[in-house]
A and B are shown apart, each in its own frame.
Chain A
Amino acid sequence: DAKTTQPTSMDCAEGRAANLPCNHSTISGNEYVYWYRQIHSQGPQYIIHGLKNNETNEMASLIITEDRKSSTLILPHATLRDTAVYYCIVIEGSNFGNEKLTFGTGTRLTIIP
């Protein structure tokens, strides 16, 4: 069962902010929203996660709507190295690690020079 819905692909101009949306309308109160990305032939890279509040780290910002049914990952100044497949995942906190981590199809983000 897909818990999240993401656009299949997106383009973004280099240097601009990349905004990647994710719908998770069936999210429950104890489920976290995690974002990973995977560059071809490499392992998934953790980006950011959140529960209720917006979060920011050195890589990105995560904006979670008040009803928690959707979120947006923001890469503030996209570079060519940000071209990758981005996965939005919802995971119950107590099961993280035990649960089969289903990445789904993700969004293929292409940064245009």
Chain B
Amino acid sequence: ETGVTQTPRHLVMGMTNKKSLKCEQHLGHNAMYWYKQSAKKPLELMFVYSLEERVENNSVPSRFSPECPNSSHLFLHLHTLQPEDSALYLCASSQGQGAGNTIYFGEGSWLTVV
């Protein structure tokens, strides 16, 4: 139990579907992140939110749309995805950004695009 909860744990969606991944952190942290982990590839940072403002968007395609309504919740809205988007999507949080601010990850959401 890391204090970062992701739902759903598994999602299968067609390329024309619209779905959302949800993340909630119970740690009182101010920064939240979305990462993508594909098979045999390093972890990829997608988005960073600090105090509910997006501070980082690492050239992620527009078919991925993040939303951070408050400091405890983070969503990743998915639409018209491609099969190559199938991966483990990880939400994470940290108290702040900078020296010694450890990032804590959720269990991840396994996404399969068919």
Asked if A25 CB lies within 8 Å of chain B CBs, one says: no
C-alpha spacing A81/B41, complex, angstroms = 24
If A42-B107, A42-B108, A44-B90 touch, whether A100 touches B102 (CB-CB below 8 Å) is no
Cβ-Cβ contact count across A and B, 8 Å cutoff: 74
Q: Are A98 and B103 in contact (CB under 8 A)?
A: no
Overall SS of chain A's interface: loop
Size category of the B interface is 20 to 34
Are A93 and B35 CB-contacts (below 8 A) given A100-B58, A103-B43?
Answer: no
**B94: nearest residue on chain A (CB-CB)?**
A97
With known contacts A45-B2, A102-B42, A93–B99 Cβ distance under 8 A: yes
Known: A97-B33, A100-B58. A43 touches B106 (CB 8 A): yes
- Closest residue of chain B to A97 (Cβ to Cβ) is B97
- Bound complex: CA A42 to CA B5 (Å): 12
Query: Is the pair A46, B43 in contact by a Cβ cutoff of 8 Å?
Result: no
Asked if A98 and B97 sit within 8 Å, CB to CB, the answer is yes
Known: A43-B106, A44-B105. A101 touches B43 (CB 8 A): yes
Given A101-B43, A103-B42, do A49 and B100 touch, yes or no (CB 8 Å)? yes
C-alpha spacing A103/B90, complex, angstroms: 14
Q: By CB atoms of chain B within 10 A, which of A30, A45, A94, A101 has the most?
A: A101
CA distance A98 to B31 in the complex (A): 11
The yes or no answer to B75 lying at the interface (CB within 8 A) is no
Binary B-proximity of A21-54 (CB < 8 A = 1, otherwise 0): 0000000001010101000011111100101000
Contacts of B98 in A (CB 8 A): 93-94, 96-97
Interface string of B2-22 (1 = CB under 8 A from A): 101010000000000000000
User: With contacts A46-B103, A101-B35 known, what are 7 further pairs, Cβ within 8 A?
Assistant: A32-B99, A43-B2, A46-B105, A96-B101, A97-B97, A97-B98, A98-B97
Interface residues, chain A, CB within 8 Å of chain B? 30, 32, 34, 36, 41-46, 49, 51, 93-94, 96-104
